[in-house]
Amino acid sequence: MERKIVILDGYAANPGDLSWDSLQKFGTLEVYDRTSPEQILERAKGAFAIFTNKVVITAQIIESLPELKFIGILATGYNNVDIAAAKAHGIPVCNVPNYSSQSVVQTVFGHLLNITTQIERHAQSVAAGDWVKSPDFSYSLSPMRQIAGLTIGIYGLGNIGKEVAKIAHAFGMKVIALTSKEQTQLPEYITKVEKTEFFSQSDVLSLNAPLCADNHNFICRETLDLMKPTAIIINTARGGLVDEEALADALNNRKIAAAAVDVLSCEPPKEDNPLLSAQNCYITPHIAWTSDVARKSLLRISAENLEAFIAGHPINMVNK
């Protein structure tokens, strides 16, 4: 009997520009763009393997799928799967680590350069005819900030955080980090600091840490009060790292200069999310991971995860 393989929410990873052939070869593949909670059991019934990006796989769902042997995560984060329940049923849960680091780093600096240089705003002004009408060869709608010489604080020195540090150093920025690593474990251009220094010294603060119980609302009123009024916060990690109401108030009251977020606490956001209307808040719809190269790597590694499991030596297991 041919294996049934089900992708529950494939649209974000592959809206149609890539091929699922790398998974197709392992059995009969069923791909759904999106799956509601009510549709999970119907679609996953009889499946040998399921893949999920953000669809929540609970213990009850796992118990209701006796033929299920493998759960693949089309992402790095796996908080949407009850990994303990999967382990109890002998089902490996395999994620895709470090597939989008360069893509995320690119988004960090895309946001930073947009905020400090306001390229889009000036390009739109030129397109509207303002330069043609200008009496001067050059005009500026807002001050341009030079990032060389600024201090960037990095929270989370994993693969992404280390790459952010490397690029920031190349730009001529001073790099500090709030990290559990020892100074001797860090490159010479990264200086370890304590929490108060981290917030008070950072001109730019980049969040690159996974979300856990200990760092929920890491950015809050208390830490925002420590920051410079010219400071910029960039979050490409997890929305739960930020108290969104506190950040919105800080922006609206000009306690900090700007924020750029690619992630929110609820996605898609609710209409009353305070950051949607906050001053100088630049929001992108969780796109940092979606470069073509990153998504191709995601699908390739997902197929390798399934192949390794079928061969008897699973890789990238998060519930060993």
Calculate Rg over the CA atoms of the chain. 22
38 is catalytic: no
Crossing angle of helices 101-117 and 292-310, rounded to 10°: 160
C-alpha span between 299 and 18 (Å, rounded): 9
225: number of Cβ within 10 Å: 13
State how far Cα 276 lies from the chain centre: 18
Which of 286, 300, 304, 307 is catalytic? The answer is 286
Decide if 154 contacts 109 (C-beta within 8 A). Answer: no
Question: Which three-class secondary structure string do you get for 69-89?
Answer: CEEEECCCCCCCECHHHHHHC
C-alpha span between 285 and 292 (Å, rounded): 16
* Phi, psi for residue 80 in degrees, rounded to 5: -90, 0
238 is catalytic: yes
C-alpha span between 170 and 135 (Å, rounded): 37
C-alpha span between 63 and 77 (Å, rounded): 22
Q: Which two tokens stand for residue 268?
A: 């898609």
Which of 63, 67, 120, 267 is catalytic? The answer is 267
Which of 145, 238, 244, 295 is catalytic? The answer is 238
C-alpha span between 161 and 271 (Å, rounded): 31
The residues assigned a catalytic role are 238, 267, 286
